[in-house]
Structure 1
Amino acid sequence: MKKLSPNAIGLAAAILSAVCMLVIGVLAMFEFRMEAFEMMKTMHIWFDATVVGVLLGMVEAFVFSYVVGYLFALLYNKLA
């Protein structure tokens, strides 16, 4: 059975979540899809409908998702 690369899985998850935060943040700046923005704002401390808030939310999502993806791949490799 092939092993997962923890770094690759972590980076893939991190990039995907950062892009999602960017899309949600930009849509919120135009007051579109505010439900998604409000939901993400409850989970991410620095996420806001400003340029700085979107960038900080992207960084936060990137770091958190990288750690979770990395740990997931490590656990998968250990159990597989």
Structure 2
Amino acid sequence: MLLLGVFGAVGVYEGAVAMMEQWHLFFEPTVVGTVAGMVEAAVISFVLVYAFAWLYNALAR
């Protein structure tokens, strides 16, 4: 997401930047938007990995 934010700020990969803006609520090709998108992705990833680990441990018993 960091690379896409940097490339989007200079006008490269505009199609990928548009898709990322659709998928992530806070992502924009600015410094604040890139950091906010990275934080959003980290939170979503943590929740999904935690749920997967919980399910795995519940089924492993």
Q: TM-score, normalised by structure 1?
A: 0.67
1:41 to 21, 26, 30: 21
Equivalent residue, structure 1, for 2:7: 27
- Segments ≥4 residues shifted beyond 3 Å: none
**2:19 aligned with 1:64:** no
* Unpaired segments ≥5 residues, structure 1: 1-20
Higher relative contact order (CA 8 A, sep 6+): 1
Q: Percent identity?
A: 48
In 2: Cα distance, 1:36 partner to 1:27 partner: 10
Residue by residue over 1:23-74, the C-alpha shift from the partner in whole angstroms, topping out at 9 and shown as x without a partner, is 1111111111122211111111111011111011111111111111111111
CA distance in 1: counterparts of 2:4 and 2:56, whole angstroms: 30
Report the Cα distance in structure 2 between the residues aligned to 1:56 and 1:64, rounded to whole angstroms.
12
Unaligned 5+ segments in structure 2 are: none
Number of residue-to-residue matches in the alignment: 60
